Amino acid sequence: MMELSKHLDARGNLSVIEELKDIPFEIKRAYWIYDVPGGEQRGGHAYRRNAELIVALSGSFDVLIDNGTEVKTFQLNRSYFGLYVPCGLWRQMQNFSTNSLALVLASTEYDADDYVYDRSEFMQMVRNRP
């Protein structure tokens, strides 16, 4: 979990992310997840190469990170915190609050072949990790 820079004044707050400075990758893509119906889950996969930073710009949600041996849950509920998710980890997003908005900054362009949805393939990837 990374605390992002915060500029507070009487007009409100501003936070900023610069590639390779605040986060350890170049930003190739940004996408955002919104209007998630109650009880829905997103993700539920790993990436072979893609790394991400996930920020709750509004509302809150949980991100489950699974490295193959343990699962940790991170609650994102502040727009000045970002969760850095390196490649090779299984991640799932759930418990989205009403009107939550998740910003995801990604290190690669979208590539459907980068996704690992199969749990046994993921465990194989974990075993082959250097």
CA 14 to each of CA 6, 46, 101: distance values in angstroms, whole numbers, following the listed order: 6, 31, 16
Point out which span in 14-22, 28-36, 50-58, 120-128 binds ligand TYD (CB under 6 A): 28-36
Q: Is-contact 63 83, C-beta < 8 A?
A: yes
The two three-digit tokens of residue 7, written as one number: 């500029």
Task: Please select the residue that binds ligand TYD; options are 43, 85, 88, 103, rule is CB under 6 A.
Answer: 43
Of 12 and 37, nearer to ligand TYD (C-beta) is: 37
Taking the least distance from each CB to ligand TYD, the nearer of 31 and 34 is 31
Tell me the number of residues near ligand TYD by CB under 6 A.
6
Q: Does 31 interact with ligand TYD (rule: CB under 6 A)? A: yes
Of 100, 57, 99, 55, the closest CA to residue 74 belongs to 55
Answer yes or no whether residue 46 interacts with ligand TYD by CB under 6 A. no
Position 48 contacts ligand TYD (CB under 6 A): no
Interface mask (CB under 6 A) for ligand TYD, residues 72-91, using x and -?
A: --------------------
Detail the DSSP E strand segments found in 18-117: 29-34, 42-47, 52-58, 61-66, 71-76, 81-85, 90-94, 101-106, 115-116
Judge whether 45 counts as a catalytic residue: yes
Active-site residue set: 45
